[in-house]
């Protein structure tokens, strides 16, 4: 009898008590990503060769996981967390500008008249530098907030490292 009650209790927990499956959270139902997986990845370049003393734009490529979007660098609502690059210049390198792509308009199904400015898929962020002769390592991070159609996840940082060889 005790074995039968244990089996019934386990079955009830598995299917939610009434024969229905337990509701899963959005990240539990998608095969494209999970809360522990990187939602944004830095793809490349890991190294660039530049002419010493001359301006150069490092084009940093990032991939946003399928089914997700991140707010652009210039979100349309002030309350939204913008995507930003934090990359302090090492000795011998001057970062003169960071250029983000324009965001794409996006509306949630629940609020079709409210537009957001977001990035999806692959984006390229340009970092304009001038480097003195030598090897330099630029290390930083891209700060973003990823969302799907139902949930916005806490802000995260993806590390960025680019070895600059100036000749």
Residue 43 and residue 15 share a domain: no
From the number of C-beta atoms within 10 Å of its C-beta (0-12, 13-18, 19+), residue 158 rates as middle
- pLDDT of 38 reads 83
The mean pLDDT value for 37-55 works out to 94
Residue 138 and residue 119 share a domain: yes
Count: domains in the chain:
2
> Above 90 in pLDDT, residue 19?
no
> Above 60 in pLDDT, residue 124?
yes
Helix %, strand %, coil % of the chain (to 5) = 10, 45, 45
Residue 90, domain CATH:
2.60.40.1250
- pLDDT of 78 reads 87
Residue 42 and residue 18 share a domain: no
pLDDT band at 34 (very low <50, low <70, confident <90, very high): low
Residue 83 and residue 10 share a domain: no
Could you tell me the residue range of the domain that residue 23 belongs to? 1-27
Residue 146 and residue 95 share a domain: yes
Residues 129, 93 contacting (CB under 8 angstroms): yes
Residue 36 and residue 23 share a domain: no
> Above 70 in pLDDT, residue 15?
no
């Amino acid at each position: 009898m005790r074995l039968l009650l244990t089996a019934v209790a386990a079955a009830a927990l598995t299917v939610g008590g009434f024969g229905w499956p337990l509701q899963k959270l959005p990240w539990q139902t998608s095969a494209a990503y999970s809360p522990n997986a990187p939602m944004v990845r830095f793809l490349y370049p890991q190294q660039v060769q530049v002419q010493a003393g001359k301006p150069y734009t490092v084009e940093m490529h990032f991939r946003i996981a399928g089914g997700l979007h991140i707010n652009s660098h210039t979100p349309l609502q002030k309350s939204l967390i913008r995507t930003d690059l934090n990359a302090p210049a090492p000795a011998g390198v001057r970062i003169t500008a960071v250029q983000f792509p324009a965001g794409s308009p996006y509306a949630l199904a629940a609020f079709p008249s409210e537009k957001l400015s977001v990035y999806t898929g692959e984006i390229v962020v340009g970092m304009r530098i001038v480097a003195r002769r030598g090897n330099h390592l630029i290390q930083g991070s891209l700060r973003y907030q990823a969302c799907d159609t139902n949930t916005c996840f806490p802000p995260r940082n993806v590390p960025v490292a680019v070895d600059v060889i100036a000749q």
